[in-house]
Structure 1
């Protein structure tokens, strides 16, 4: 019997999501409407902010967050080299120029000390992701520059006793199919600043306005909002399943893999490990041949796209060369987890 391939990511959708989507179809209201409004209220309660603005996708949330905080032509934005290209795309969409920041040595986290050292007079914003569910304390950096965080990997994470979404002046989220909460596409900008929320709402739709300025078609659909209302209600159970699986991997693979230390308030988006750089490409191929969708958690660091020498961002380069991510998500069965563990042990023992 052929074993089914275990993908690196897989959303968990069930009858509640199907019923919510069907109800939207029956209503005939597909564009931004009451489901979006309800999602914005409910998400704000969960994330601990005063306002949430629902958007078409995560890049829209990043883009409007950057614009609201002052990014634009003639300005620069700090962002990590070890991160998703969506970060870079949003900076360039705003008209600003990117300033890349290295990782903390030996960790995937954006080095906020390096960020502080790179702040320039023309720097408008620092874009700081809580990468892989590892929340960062940004208050020292915020004394130098406005901070937009990206909480896509970290709904439910905390810094001290506060939700991580409260870090910085605003926090962007993506709800793409591979994310912690999934709707296929969707984004959200969470903030406690009324001016930021007001501008984001103004810019997300261009139609039927008495004045003209450059605005965007960034509205969320009712179907996405309906799905996300259910996904937010399931967040607690999702996080529990992820944590249990991460603990199991740590217990059963910790003798073979170099694992990053956990941080207070962390949630588990990916299960990361470091292996020697010369081993990683072959290990990824071997695991795929065994039916395990392991991957580099960052496809390519941003300095490689921009032609910046690796020596300028050595820790981001090392993270890319050495970091492995194993399947970790709610709905991964115990038998599938057994197979992931067995496959890794066979390759590394």
Structure 2
């Protein structure tokens, strides 16, 4: 949702004569340091770039194993492979859809690194995923501004990564960021990002964010609480309309939740498809968040029987519209359609 204030912020950058990485990017990085009470931040060209450089800066290279949830975006695999490490796919929890600590101990106990995705805004159990000798990256690409029982999401691991893609909580069209409580980790990311005009050479790549993107992100961050409030209001409307026989991802009513998606769970694939048809006939577009073929264990041709929860989520989940641009009339239409479904 682009506002007049967002356009004004971008126009100010365009009028400034400085549109590449510059003061708006520096302001964005300073904002994250302020939000997290210290540490260091480095803005980048995408969330994928942020994850890649977080891994690289923490030392996840050749010979390293990185635990990743199967029910997640393929960007995780891309980042791990680009860093030179090996992914180890792990099943997820049926309620939060986040990395399952018990499955991690069973399927990737040797992993020296793990990526804890706060899936659709649901807090992963970071404390339970940590282990001696393991470095943990919190993937906050879907949970910016979220708070869990362990505090602000992103504050517990060795690094946190964020995305500002067009569909995320706040957007610059594209963009990403790494924050770490250890300022030297953020500086290692910056060392790679600043590819030119260096006294010595090592292979680097241009992963910089522009001030145009940063200005849009900065403008939207200023209304982050309003974004949370609107998403929570939409979630409450859907929860009130939820018919018997359907359930939802855990924690959607929690006060600190940043509801990135409102995911309904059907008892089986046939019911999920019936719900999707019912909503479409009512003029409400819904989406399957992750199709079965997109599950990371299937991309790597691993045995689906080892990932029963991820398999079931792919077959039974449906995401309802929850973006802040949804009008009250559109919300009422979607809630009424949901309420009228009979499994």
Q: Which category describes the TM-score, using the shorter chain as reference length? A: over 0.9
Which position in structure 2 is the counterpart of 1:344? 338
Which of 276, 283, 291 is 1:284 aligned to? Answer: 276
Distance (Å, rounded) in 1 between the aligned partners of 2:285 and 2:90: 29
How far has the Cα of 1:252 moved from its partner?
1.2
Gaps of 5+ in 1: 1-11
Distance (Å, rounded) in 2 between the aligned partners of 1:96 and 1:280: 37
Secondary structure of 1:149's partner? strand
Write out aligned runs for 1:266-277 (5 A). 266-275=257-266, 276-277=268-269
How far has the Cα of 1:293 moved from its partner?
1.9
Which position in structure 2 is the counterpart of 1:109? 98
Write out aligned runs for 1:25-64 (5 A). 25-64=14-53
Distance (Å, rounded) in 1 between the aligned partners of 2:243 and 2:280: 21
Secondary structure of 1:172's partner? strand
How far has the Cα of 1:170 moved from its partner?
0.6
How far has the Cα of 1:59 moved from its partner?
0.2
Distance (Å, rounded) in 2 between the aligned partners of 1:154 and 1:107: 13
Distance (Å, rounded) in 2 between the aligned partners of 1:47 and 1:325: 30
Residue 257 (1) aligns with residue 246 (2): yes
Distance (Å, rounded) in 2 between the aligned partners of 1:157 and 1:254: 27
Which position in structure 1 is the counterpart of 2:131? 143
Which of 211, 216, 224 is 1:227 aligned to? Answer: 216
CA RMSD, aligned part only?
1.8
CA contact (8 A) 1:47 1:156 kept: no
Which position in structure 1 is the counterpart of 2:301? 307
Which position in structure 1 is the counterpart of 2:319? 325
Which position in structure 1 is the counterpart of 2:205? 216
CA contact (8 A) 2:243 2:338 kept: no
How far has the Cα of 1:142 moved from its partner?
2.2
C-alpha distance after superposition, 1:244-289 (max 9, x if no partner): 1111110111435212331754321110111121232343344334
Larger relative contact order, structure 1 or 2 (CA cutoff 8 Å, min sep 6): 1
Number of corresponding residues: 337
Which of 111, 117, 135 is 1:129 aligned to? Answer: 117
Secondary structure of 1:278's partner? helix
